[in-house]
Amino acid sequence: MEFFQKMRGAGQCPPRVRRSEIVSSFLGSLAGMGLLGLLHYNVADPADRVLLVGSFAASAVLLFAAPKSPLAQPRNLLGGHVLSAIIGVTVRLALPDMPWLAGALATALAIAAMHMTRTLHPPGAATAFIAVTGGPKIIALGYLYVLCPALAGPLLLLCVALATNALTPGRRYPEYWW
Amino acid sequence: MRDDAAAPADPTCDVPLTEVEIQDIFTAMSQSEGYLDITPGDALALYRLAYRHASARVGRERTVGTVMTSPAHTASPELPGPELARLMASLGVSGLPVLENDTLVGVVSIKDFLPSLGLPRQATPMALVAALLEGGLPSANLARLTTRDLMTAPALSVPPSCPVAEAAELMDRRRINRLPVVDGGRLVGIITRDDIVRAWRPEAAPE
C-alpha cells in the first residue's frame, strides 16, 4: 500500500508571488522572446537559419520568472542547451530509422548528461528532443544546430535577462555564473 | 528523529528555533523577494537539517575551557566527613574535587555520603527527606570518616580543550553531574551540567 501512499501528496503549494513580480516576469520574457523573434524572422530565417525553437520559451520561464533557481543560472542555461543539442544531433544521426526511440533516447541522455555536469536546465531536454523531431529545416543544419540556435538563442536570452533583472528592484541575476 | 529535543531559544523572540512550522516557512516565502522553486515542506526539512548540523557544530567547537567554572572550590582529603558536609552546604555545591598537594585525587558528591547514612547510593534527595522524617539518620558512622574515605577515586577528568559535546556525552554515560577540568596535571576548573546548559544558550555562543 506504500505504493499508493506515496502518491497522496503530503506537501503544500508555495505562495503566489507579489503582483510586481508577475509584471516583471511578463515584461522580461516579452523582451527576451521578442528579441529572438525579431532576429529570427528578419535575419536568420531569410538566410535559412533557425534562431527560435520552442525550448527557448521554457528557458524564458526560468530566466524571467525564477531567476534565483539553480536551473536558471548561466552555467545551466548555456551548458544545458549546448550539451543537449550535441546529444540530440548525435542520436538522430545514429538512429535515423527509429524516430520513436531517438526522441526518447535524446531526451533521457540529455537529462543524464546535464545531471552529471551540474548543468540541469529542463528546456535543454527539449532542445535535444527538437534536434530529432524538429523537421527538415532543423535536420538540414546538422551539427550547426549546436551553435545556432542552441548556443546563440540562450546567449541572447541571457543578455536580456541580465539587463531586465538588473533593472528590476529586488532582483539580482545571476546567482552564480559557472 | 526527534524534533522536540531541547534546543536553544532565539533570544529575540522567545520561541525555540525548532518550533518553526510549515506555516512559518510559507509566510517567510511569501515575504521573500521573487519566486523560490522549493516547496515549503522541503524548505522546512532543509532548515531543520541545517539547524541540527549547526547545533552539533556549535557543541563540537565549544570547548570545556570556555564554559567551565573557574577557579573551582576544592576539598582536602583529610577533611572529616561532617566538616565536608558543612563546607559543601555553605558553598552551595553538590560536589567538590578533592586535591592533595595540588593533584586531583578524587571527586566527592552527595551520592558519596548516602551509603554512610544507611541509604543506597542512587537515593534521591526526597529519599533523604523521607528518612529524616522517619526518625533521623545514623550519622555516627559519617563522623568517623574523612573525605578520602568518602570520595570517588580515581576521578574522571577532562582537559580544557575537550569539546563540550564530549563532556556532555561522558557525564550522561557515567551518570555524573560534574567533571574536574585538568590541564597539565593541575586542576583549572570544573564543568557541571549547569555549565553545559548555560553554554547552549544562544547569547553564550562564541563569536
Q: In this prediction, what percent of chain B has a pLDDT beyond 70?
A: 87
**C-alpha dist (Å) from residue B180 to A156, B78, B105:** 68, 19, 11
Number of domains present in the structure of chain A:
1
- Is omega for the bond preceding B71 within 30 degrees of 0, making it cis? yes
Tens digit of each residue's pLDDT (9 = 90 or more) over B15-29? 455 678 888 888 888
Using the Cβ of A170 and the Cβ atoms of chain B, whether some distance falls under 8 Å is answered with yes
Residue A91's H or E segment, with its range, is: helix A74-94
One-letter identity of residue A117: T
Going by DSSP bridges, is the β-strand pair B178-183/B186-192 parallel, antiparallel, or unpaired? antiparallel
Compute the average pLDDT of residues A27-48: 95
Cβ within 8 Å, pair B41-A13: no
DSSP state letter for A45 = G
Which chain B residue's Cα is nearest to A165?
B34
User: What does the mean pLDDT of chain B come to?
Assistant: 82
Q: How confident is the model at residue B9 (pLDDT cuts 50, 70, 90)?
A: very low
Q: Pick the residue of B27, B32, B35 with the most A CBs within 10 A to test the interface with A by mutation.
A: B35
Quick check: is A41 in a domain? Answer: yes
Distance CA B12, CA B15 (A): 8
Q: What is the ipTM of this complex?
A: 0.71
Integer Cα distance of B108 and B115 in angstroms: 13
Residues A93-114: tens digit of each pLDDT: 999 999 889 999 999 999 999 9
- Taking CB atoms and an 8 Å limit, are B26 and A21 in contact across chains? no
Residue A12 lies in a domain: no
Q: Is the pLDDT of residue B12 over 50?
A: no
**Residue B186 burial (CB count, 10 A):** 11
CA distances to A104, A159, B57, B67, B131 from A70, in Å = 25, 18, 27, 41, 68
Hey, how many other C-beta atoms are within 10 angstroms of the C-beta on A20? 14
B173: distance to nearest CA of chain A, Å? Answer: 39
Tell me the β-bridge partners of B189: B181
Grid coordinates representing B146 are: 574523612
The cell for A62 is 526560468
Q: Please indicate whether, in this complex, the C-beta atoms of B33 and A171 are within 8 angstroms of each other.
A: yes
Asked if residue A141 belongs to a domain, the reply is yes
Strand partners, B103: B100
| pLDDT exceeds 80 at position B158 | yes
Are A64 and A32 in contact, with CB atoms under 8 Å apart? Answer: yes
Of residues A121 and B11, the one with the higher pLDDT is: A121
Q: Is the pLDDT of residue B190 over 90?
A: yes
Q: Do B37 and A68 touch (CB under 8 A)?
A: yes
Percent pLDDT > 90 in chain A is 79
Residue B2 has pLDDT above 70, yes or no: no
For residue A15, tell me if it sits in a domain.
no
- The distance of B44 to chain A (nearest Cα, Å) reads 11
Question: Containing domain of residue A91, as a range?
Answer: 20-167
pLDDT computed for residue B10 by the predictor = 38
pLDDT at B4: 38
Residue A172 in any domain: the answer is: no
> B95: helix, coil or strand?
strand
Grid cell locating A44: 536568420
Find residue B98's DSSP bridge partners. B75, B106
As a whole number, mean pLDDT of residues A128-155 equals: 94
- A-chain residues near B38 (CB < 8 A): 14
Nearest to A21 among B22, B34, B42 (CB): B34
Q: Which pTM was predicted?
A: 0.62
Q: State how far the alpha carbon of A33 is from the alpha carbons of A40, A72, A149, A177, in Å.
A: 10, 16, 13, 22
CB-nearest to B35 from A10, A13, A65 is A65
Please check whether residue A27 lies inside any domain of the structure.
Answer: yes
| Contact in structure between B29 and B40 (CB atoms under 8 Å) | yes
Average pLDDT over residues B35-39: 86
Q: Is the pLDDT of residue A91 over 80?
A: yes
Whole-angstrom CA distances from A166 to A71, A154, B134, B204 are: 19, 18, 82, 41
Is residue B38 within 8 angstroms of chain A, CB to CB?
A: yes
**Residue numbers in B near A171 (CB within 8 A):** 33-34
The yes-or-no verdict on residue B7 having pLDDT over 50 is no
- Name every chain A residue with its beta carbon within 8 A of the beta carbon of B22: 12
Q: Is residue A124 part of a domain?
A: yes
Whether A19 and chain B come into contact, CB under 8 Å, resolves to no
Q: Is B102 on the interface with A (CB under 8 A)?
A: no
CB B67 within 8 A of CB B168: no
Dist CA B103 CA B134 (whole Å)? 41
Domain assignment present for A174: no
Q: What pLDDT, on a 0 to 100 scale, did the predictor assign at position B3?
A: 39
What 3-state DSSP class applies to A149? coil
Q: Which of B22, B34, B41 sits opposite A67 (nearest CB)?
A: B34
CB A11 to CB B26 under 8 A?
no
Q: Do A14 and B29 touch (CB under 8 A)?
A: yes
